[in-house]
Amino acid sequence: MESCMSANCAAALSSTPGSIFTHFIQVLLASLCTLSKNGDYPIDRTEEILVSEREFDFVIAGGGTAGTILARRLTEVMDWKVLLIEAGEDPNPITDVPGLFVTLLGQVQDYSYKVEPQEGMCQGSTNKQCRWSKGKALGGSSVINAMIHVFGNDRDYDKWASLGNEGWSYKEVLPYFKKSLNCPAEHIAKWGEKYCGIGGPMNIRHDNYSITNILDIVLNSAHELGFNVLEPLIGDRFVGFGRAMGTMENTRRVNTAKAFLSPIKDRKNLYVMKSSRVDKILLEGDRATGVRVTSKDGRSIDVKASKEVILSAGSIASPQIMMLSGIGPKEHLTEMGIPTVADLPVGENLQDHIVWLGMHIAYVNESTVPPSATFLMDATYEYLAHNSGELAATGINLLGFVNVNDPSSVYPDIEFHFGHFPRWNPVKVGSLMATFAFNDELIRETQKNIMESDVLFPCTVLLNPKSRGVVKLRSVDPADPVKIYANYLTEQEDLKTLLKSVDTVKSLLNTETMKKHGMWLRHFDIPGCRHTQPDSTEYWECSIRHVATSLFHAAGTVRMGPSNDPRAVVNARLKVHGIDKLRVIDASIMPNIVSGNINAPTMMIAEKGADMIKEDWGTRVHVEL
């Protein structure tokens, strides 16, 4: 297959086209050569492990954002044998294309969890169940997310430290954010290295192909209201509007497997099992000794970890594996018929960023023309031939951070993601709505609006939810998905905060900048809300209950805290309370979810966790504070 691909690449790059169609095919083939291939990633050593290699120093369960970073950092110690187990395969090459990220969700490299039905929430979703996407591939959710790279703010991490988690203040975690990064030289020249590192494995760049006039309108309106224009977005100020950088390079997505594993894919001490599921932790008394794994062909084996077992399977799967192993709430484990090894609140403290797509800013854009019958092919050609156009960008890198409860605060409670959808293009907006698993009625209503005007979506994100959910086992079968109780808006304050975000959008619309462009707040005709008056509090609340859903930022289910905290599962060294040689290193350890997208914080947790492991096993580390 590799030789065939190489031959195709060479032919495409050297041939002289005889027609436009031939040229298009040649560009397609040549461009596919620049997208990811199986050979870019570590080989699958499953068969070798099944036959002979069963003992390792470290076993990492989960090859997502955190797991791939851990595998890179731990194999830097050449005497350590490290096994990384991932339930998915290598990222599909199409995941490299930024503009296609909305088409990836709900597909083969997405777990597509469904939350349990909740009265008064997810009412516009298919079967009234919100979908929770989570990446099922080497690189995890970094393979299918929107690539936005933000840190949160200093208060987030200082709060973690104040809860008894020594070493987790903002000052102490900032070096680990930077350690991963390779920021553009021009960014460093202009802004310095305080918040953006150089020489790290992960490239982050600005998306240079978004529709800039729309961005300028929003930024000018925000400035007119007195908001900071955050340039750069990551810095000392946390309230304002600005453009985020993303995990990309040369208009290609950079997932964590590509960034951290591809350069070291041939390390002899790195072992990777793909399409393999971790079923449980092997325990001898209160000590973890390894894991039980089911391979892609259904064979079950036990692999040993002489030093540590590390769970990096995420906020849904990490608690599932723990509970299946007897580590969790005693009452629930007893209910499931599982003997309790450690009675800990695993699966509790579940948090997520809820996103509301109910506000639509409409305007007549004179520059918008109906798409041609070949617009998809044209966009594909522009991207493959010139690395530009719609497919070169996600189009949602403009963010706004505001505090709707206390406008004088320097910390936000709401985040806006701005997405522009041009008139006469129902495919693009329909893809967005389908991404979040909204029902056909809502998709049709959205597409009807887009035939009449351009629409700017100020997608509203609740940053610091007070509501807490829980993850529970559905059965003792590891193949059974867990039960996810999101418990959205069970705390009334969460609903009130979302409702107040309407006033911020109205204020933007009342600026001279937006008035000049004839922008207005369009009524979104939600079938389930037709009994309400447009623009009434009752309507907006109904809208939230229909078109608010998950931003796929599950966190907190294996909470970090000291041993005297009854809510805590792991300590500040990320070791499970009461269980020796077992750590959890992923977003599940967050005591409180951070005020922004969580991929960058998850990377930081993995970088810091890797250094903790090295320190605890006598390996010197050096990170400048």
Q: List residues forming the annotated binding site for FAD.
A: 278
Catalytic-labelled residue, pool 360, 417, 517, 553: 553
Distance CA 341, CA 325 (A): 8
Residue at token pair 């959890």: 584
> Residue 416: which H helix or E strand, with range?
strand 414-421
Q: Tell me the CA distances in angstroms from 577 to 168, 169, 589, one per residue in order.
A: 18, 21, 13
Binding-site residue set? 278
Cα distance between residue 574 and residue 165, in whole Å: 10
Residue 482: is it exposed, middle or buried by C-beta count within 10 angstroms (0-12/13-18/19+)?
buried
Other beta carbons within 10 Å of 160 = 25
* Residue 187 bears catalytic tag: no
Handedness of CA 93, 150, 603, 190 (dihedral sign): positive
Closest to 294 (Cα-Cα) out of 277, 307, 308? 277
Task: Please report, as a single letter, which amino acid is at residue 328.
Answer: G
Contact assessment for residue 621 and residue 608, using Cβ atoms and an 8 Å cutoff: no
The strand pairing partners of 253, in sequence order, are 248
CA distance 137 to 268: 22
Amino acid at 366: E
Tokens of 116: 């349990």
Q: How far apart are CA 182 and CA 164, in angstroms?
A: 32
Q: Yes or no: say if 455 and 361 are a contact pair by the CB < 8 Å rule.
A: yes
Residue 28 sits at φ, ψ, to 5 deg, of -60, -50
Answer whether 273's CB lies under 8 Å from 293's CB: yes
**Residue recorded with tokens 């079950």:** 300
What positions carry a catalytic annotation? Answer: 553
